[in-house]
Structure 1
Amino acid sequence: MDDYFLKYEDRQPPEPLGYSITREMLWQFLAVIALVVGAWYIWWRWTGSLNPEALWFAIPLVMAETFAYFGMILFVFNLWKDDPIDIQPAPECLADVTENHPEGERQISVDVMFATYDEDPELVRLGIIDAKNMTYPHPIDIRIHILDDGRRPEMREVTESEGANYISRTTNEGFKAGNLRNAMEQTYGDFMVICDADTRPFPTLLVNTLGYFRDPKMAWVQTPQWFYDLPAGDTLDTVWGNRLGPIGAKAATLIQRIAGPIRVGADPFVNDPKMFYDVIQRRRNWVNASFCCGAGSIHRREAVMEAALRSFGSKVQQRTYAAEEVITLTSKEREVAPELMEAIRTEAAATELLTPYRFHVSEDIFTSIVLHADRRRGWKSKMHPIVESKMLSPQDLLTWTVQRYKYAGGSLDILVNDNPIFRPGLTFSQRLMYGTTFYSYLAPLWNMVFLFSPAIYLFTGVSPVSAYSSDFFMHLIPFLVTLELAMMVGTWGISGYAAKASYLSFFPLGMRAIYAVFRGQKISFPVTPKVRQSGNFLRLVRPQLFVIGVTIVAGIWGSAALLIDSMPHSPSGVVANLLWGLNNCFAMAGIIGAAMWVPKEDEGTVEE
């Protein structure tokens, strides 16, 4: 087993962001100002700034800005409101979490499920050991199950040696979703804890989360996924001191006194999910729209099975109606005999599969949508703010790419084929929240415009605006400043630049996912590796390298053009686009560095 992570065993997870009503009100105030100023800017861009002699350039850019502004509106709504942290006391018996249950005085039973395929059995063993150490203040029935889709004798041996239950099947139908369905057919716990092969539950997981289920409508609780193996990097003064000597170290120390601690090489793949869980997901609680992310989630079995039964019944009905329509059209009969209709229903029921988790690459969010849309039952979800488990992060760009493509492709596939915006049962706020998630994966379409626009101007001198005049900057700068201030307060406590840079540099993978989904191609991917793949992966960042190369050449050309009287470039236009292009290059540099990153001690890697 590649045990590089053992040296991080003593790391402790970060505390959740504290709630402050004062900061929330300030954020909302600044967000409204940013939205108003942004609307003013976009209106001016459409009505008073377009270059009529270059509409081929001006229109795509202003459309990209408009799409980005709409995304900003959705993001502001997502971040609008937070709730104070409120941990409910752990329930004592089934009656505390289920209304009118005939076995109300019975102790609660929980199935802890580790889904695995080809991961090292010794890695899974660590999760089993940690799961056995979970505590609870009342009698409780905890059963640990290993769901092995690899059907490996060594995995069975590890499972049985740790006293856990080994579950496998003869096929891999439905992948992880099918694996979970098979396990649910063989287990009976009131609640299920979903774990990946590398998930390491903390002792407090059940103590801190089962209390939410005192609300009988609570369907699932998601806990933050914390990657405890993220590279810490070196302080800026250490790096500069090694390269430039004492003078470099002193200069770096001065910079850090002004800007705060700076670590070089920390989290090269921007894997830290704190922004996602502690801000984006957590602030969906107020409209009951946080969605399940798989590992580290706790589910009420009743909710999952009931949603599956409803979906099953709906699909059987659809099959029956379709068959009835075919028969009436071909036979010219006005109605089908009752005996035949009953046979059709029986056949449809036998053909359709009961799937608690949809067979989909993004089964977690899809199941969330199905449960949230059940208006009759009114199922709820909760994003629990405290880290209750630890996991391993992608340690190379290839693994990172596989994971991100899964997220993008799976989400876009749902958008195209099961669009939640129009799904009956969801509230308007839930539609907006899910829409925000899916809309973000369309961003590469307009981000590409932002990435190449500076080079177009610097090469040609053709401006997308009527002029890079004081009027232009008087509209642009207030928007950028108010937006940055609002986001700084709205995400206070979390560094935002790395996430924004990663979002921009994600464009090739995002475009690939968009192309695949809209072409109707099946989204497929290998299982995310749990060990580091060796080598550098510059081939994966060729588009980002191209952006930097084109921008640099364009910058040289545009700067030289100022010396030629016949060229249409203006000093303000060249400076503005040089700064814009420089920002783009910085954004691309992060992922390029990640492609070449290797740990300090390159141990336990595997060859490609």
Structure 2
Amino acid sequence: MGFYFQQFEDRSPRPPIPHSPGRELLYQFLATIALVMGAWYVHWRWTASLNYDALWFAIPLALAETLSFIGLVLFTANLWKTRDTPITPPPASIRDCVDEADAPDRPVAVDIFFTTYNEEVDLVRLGIRDALALRYPHAIDLRIHILDDGRRPEMRAMAQAEGVGYITRSNNIGFKAGNLRNALEATSGDFVVICDADTRPLPTLLERTLGYFRDPDVAWVQTPQWFYDLPEGTPLSEVLRRWLGRPGRALGRAIERVAGPIPVGSDPFVNDPELFYQIIQRRRNWANASFCCGAGSIHRREAVMQAALTAYAEAIEQQAKLDEQEIRKLTREGALEEGMRAQLRGQAALDTEFTPYKFHVSEDIYTSIVLHSDPNRNWKSVFHPWVESKMLSPRDLLSWTIQRYKYAGGTLDILVNDNPLFRRGLSFWQRVMYGATFWSYLAGIWNLIFLLAPIIYLFSGIAPVSAYSFDFYKHILPFLILNELAMMVGTWGIAGYKAKLWYLSFFPLNLRALWAVARGEQIKFKVTPKDRQSGSFHRLVLPQIGIVLLTVAALGYALAAFALGSDSYTAGGLVANGFWAANNIIAMSGIILAAFWRPDDEDTEETAEGVAA
């Protein structure tokens, strides 16, 4: 069968952003000054700017600014420096990868897992064939397996036809994590490569990553995920030509001569993960804090199993202590005999399941935390900045929402129920890096305040600050300008403005995930659809549409009131809140437009029927 993405098969990934020590030093200089100015601004907000006649408004906004500033401090620490782990030659023998004098002299054994549930057989076949074409300069024991949680005869037949392994099970307990655990029990490779159903390994995957495992403490290597099917958009001149004819084309070309290329409709869902991988993940290498992201990662089997044993022992001990506390409450005894304690531990061992990959929707980051904090070994992680596989991006807002909700809900669930920030074994900087990840998913709380604040002022004329005076602009403008300059230098080579706006716009998703975790609701694993879902997705952006409508109405109301001579507004207040409102409208507009986006060739590429409810 044909796939829409076959037209993009000739696309190649960009090489990693070159590291510049000079630019890194400039970023550190600008970021330091920006943080100093930000701290000065936050201090001024709490000590000299609160509107005491409206503390109900002033305090929540000042608190939101403070919490956002804490996030900025964490993000700055994340971006502080780049220290890539040098690529070393691929091992010729397993002896090169272990610290054992009596290790056997044999080729490295690698298991490649393709996890699948309901994806197209022919889609998985593409990844299998790419895996079969992997290069390696030495003899290697390469074993490719399809992990089919859908238990489909046609998938088994395809595996047999391609000459690869087929592993399934009688249930779907633990979802993807359970699928991986089942496969680990049925295989024995030294290293395991995790692939999703749509992952397409590039020929260099093994020859450029296995060398890292020459260090016997390296537990896993994460490679960037690259979506090679992202829409490239239509040049502005062509879009204006469709609307206005030849004058529109001329206008578009004139604009692009000044501003550069403006592709309209490119990456409508801001799926491009380059900012996350090339900036955020890559700059955690120096702190040994780059975490696993699932597909495109290579794991040392020994590390996964040892960490699982440690977590298993901890779970047994914790359950035994809880049981002991319950018994002591009933019997009112001061302490139990050691024999009784041993029985409790034995019963806990029977009730606790051994899980190499935790049965969790975010099993990848959870496994990273367990390995980084393992008290028995100084396990290391490596982020490899070169793209070594390609995969498909969500092509509609429903698929995007399913994926992002899993990320948000799974990460927050770990924060609430197994907080790594207080876990023994993590270094200070590892806690900072993980803290930055978790903090970012809490931002929906203060982002909502940032969205509502200008609406409140523009409708009511009540200011959250004592005055929008020169003193206000003197404190806020240097901080905002320096922070933008620092971020521009710190993310040099990657456009991040759209990502920053979308981060603000998916506040409903973050709040929904927060509410679900707070209520103790289990975050379920839903497979992200690989086909574009048809239908209208406007229901998914009703909160953002509401913010836009309220902001536009509030802006119009305030301007009209000011023009009619109302003394509730000042020019300084209207300027500050006007720019703030415009930024919020632009931020919401991106995701709203994405809800109605349709690919140019949708009539010929899509057959899937979707639901937007």
* Smaller-chain TM-score bracket: over 0.9
Does the 8 Å CA contact 1:94/1:101 hold for their aligned counterparts? no
1:565 corresponds to which residue?
565
**Structure 1: where are the runs of 5+ without partners?**
none
Residue range with higher mean Cα deviation, 106-115 or 375-384: 375-384
2:129 corresponds to which residue?
129
**In 1, distance between residues paired with 2:334 and 2:55?**
59
1:267 corresponds to which residue?
267
5 Å matches for 1:490-505?
490-505=490-505
Deviations 1:199-219 (A, max 9, x none): 000110000100111111000
| CA gap 1:69/1:328 in 2 versus in 1, 3 angstroms | closer
**In 2, distance between residues paired with 1:317 and 1:46?**
46
- Deviation at 1:595? 0.2
Aligned residues: 608
| CA gap 1:333/1:375 in 2 versus in 1, 3 angstroms | closer
The answer to whether the aligner puts 1:180 opposite 2:190 as a matched pair is no
| CA gap 1:328/1:72 in 2 versus in 1, 3 angstroms | closer
| CA gap 1:252/1:339 in 2 versus in 1, 3 angstroms | same
The residue identity in structure 2 corresponding to 1:540 is L
Deviations 1:547-581 (A, max 9, x none): 00001111110011013334411122123212211
- Deviation at 1:350? 2.5
- Deviation at 1:524? 1.6
| CA gap 1:37/1:191 in 2 versus in 1, 3 angstroms | same
5 Å matches for 1:100-115?
100=100, 102-115=102-115
Does the 8 Å CA contact 1:98/1:104 hold for their aligned counterparts? no
SS of residue paired to 1:206: coil
SS of residue paired to 2:598: coil
**In 1, distance between residues paired with 2:343 and 2:491?**
58
- Deviation at 1:253? 2.3
1:143 corresponds to which residue?
143
The answer to whether the aligner puts 1:532 opposite 2:541 as a matched pair is no
2:306 corresponds to which residue?
306
- Deviation at 1:73? 0.3
**In 1, distance between residues paired with 2:242 and 2:55?**
52
**In 1, distance between residues paired with 2:505 and 2:339?**
60
| CA gap 1:162/1:480 in 2 versus in 1, 3 angstroms | same
2:460 corresponds to which residue?
460
2:59 corresponds to which residue?
59
SS of residue paired to 2:115: strand
The residue identity in structure 2 corresponding to 1:288 is N
- Deviation at 1:376? 2.9
- Deviation at 1:349? 2.3
1:399 corresponds to which residue?
399
SS of residue paired to 1:382: strand
Deviations 1:440-476 (A, max 9, x none): 0010101111111111111111111111112211211
SS of residue paired to 1:310: helix
The residue identity in structure 2 corresponding to 1:64 is A
| CA gap 1:229/1:481 in 2 versus in 1, 3 angstroms | same
- Deviation at 1:332? 6.7
The answer to whether the aligner puts 1:90 opposite 2:96 as a matched pair is no
SS of residue paired to 1:143: strand
Does the 8 Å CA contact 2:127/2:197 hold for their aligned counterparts? yes
Does the 8 Å CA contact 2:84/2:286 hold for their aligned counterparts? no
5 Å matches for 1:180-329?
180-327=180-327
| CA gap 1:539/1:93 in 2 versus in 1, 3 angstroms | same
Normalising to structure 2: TM-score of the pair?
Answer: 0.96
5 Å matches for 1:540-551?
540-551=540-551
1:75 corresponds to which residue?
75
The residue identity in structure 1 corresponding to 2:223 is T
1:362 corresponds to which residue?
362
**In 2, distance between residues paired with 1:335 and 1:585?**
62
Deviations 1:33-72 (A, max 9, x none): 1101111111111112111211111111111111111100
The answer to whether the aligner puts 1:432 opposite 2:421 as a matched pair is no
The answer to whether the aligner puts 1:604 opposite 2:606 as a matched pair is yes
| CA gap 1:473/1:321 in 2 versus in 1, 3 angstroms | closer
SS of residue paired to 1:193: strand
The residue identity in structure 2 corresponding to 1:208 is R
The residue identity in structure 2 corresponding to 1:604 is E
**Structure 2: where are the runs of 5+ without partners?**
none
**In 1, distance between residues paired with 2:320 and 2:464?**
56
Residue range with higher mean Cα deviation, 423-432 or 254-263: 254-263
The residue identity in structure 2 corresponding to 1:606 is A
SS of residue paired to 1:591: helix
- Deviation at 1:19? 0.6
Does the 8 Å CA contact 2:361/2:406 hold for their aligned counterparts? yes
CA RMSD of aligned residues (A): 1.6
The residue identity in structure 2 corresponding to 1:234 is T
SS of residue paired to 1:53: coil
- Deviation at 1:336? 5.8
Residue range with higher mean Cα deviation, 457-466 or 429-438: 457-466
Does the 8 Å CA contact 1:548/1:585 hold for their aligned counterparts? yes
| CA gap 1:337/1:72 in 2 versus in 1, 3 angstroms | closer
- Deviation at 1:605? 3.4
Residue range with higher mean Cα deviation, 46-55 or 395-404: 46-55
**In 1, distance between residues paired with 2:56 and 2:331?**
57
**In 2, distance between residues paired with 1:473 and 1:333?**
65
Residue range with higher mean Cα deviation, 71-80 or 317-326: 317-326
Deviations 1:344-363 (A, max 9, x none): 44433232211000111100
2:381 corresponds to which residue?
381
SS of residue paired to 1:96: helix
**In 2, distance between residues paired with 1:238 and 1:103?**
63
**In 2, distance between residues paired with 1:540 and 1:275?**
25
**In 2, distance between residues paired with 1:113 and 1:514?**
32
Normalising to structure 1: TM-score of the pair?
Answer: 0.97
The residue identity in structure 2 corresponding to 1:530 is K
The answer to whether the aligner puts 1:508 opposite 2:508 as a matched pair is yes
- Deviation at 1:255? 2.4
| CA gap 1:259/1:104 in 2 versus in 1, 3 angstroms | farther
| CA gap 1:411/1:187 in 2 versus in 1, 3 angstroms | same
SS of residue paired to 1:267: coil
**In 2, distance between residues paired with 1:339 and 1:80?**
53
| CA gap 1:421/1:84 in 2 versus in 1, 3 angstroms | closer
**In 1, distance between residues paired with 2:451 and 2:408?**
20
Does the 8 Å CA contact 1:2/1:531 hold for their aligned counterparts? no
5 Å matches for 1:461-500?
461-500=461-500
| CA gap 1:338/1:584 in 2 versus in 1, 3 angstroms | closer
The answer to whether the aligner puts 1:554 opposite 2:533 as a matched pair is no
- Deviation at 1:328? 5.6
The residue identity in structure 2 corresponding to 1:503 is Y
Residue range with higher mean Cα deviation, 158-167 or 100-109: 100-109
Does the 8 Å CA contact 2:175/2:525 hold for their aligned counterparts? no
1:11 corresponds to which residue?
11
Does the 8 Å CA contact 2:71/2:440 hold for their aligned counterparts? yes
Does the 8 Å CA contact 2:85/2:382 hold for their aligned counterparts? no
**In 1, distance between residues paired with 2:296 and 2:104?**
27
Alignment identity in percent? Answer: 59
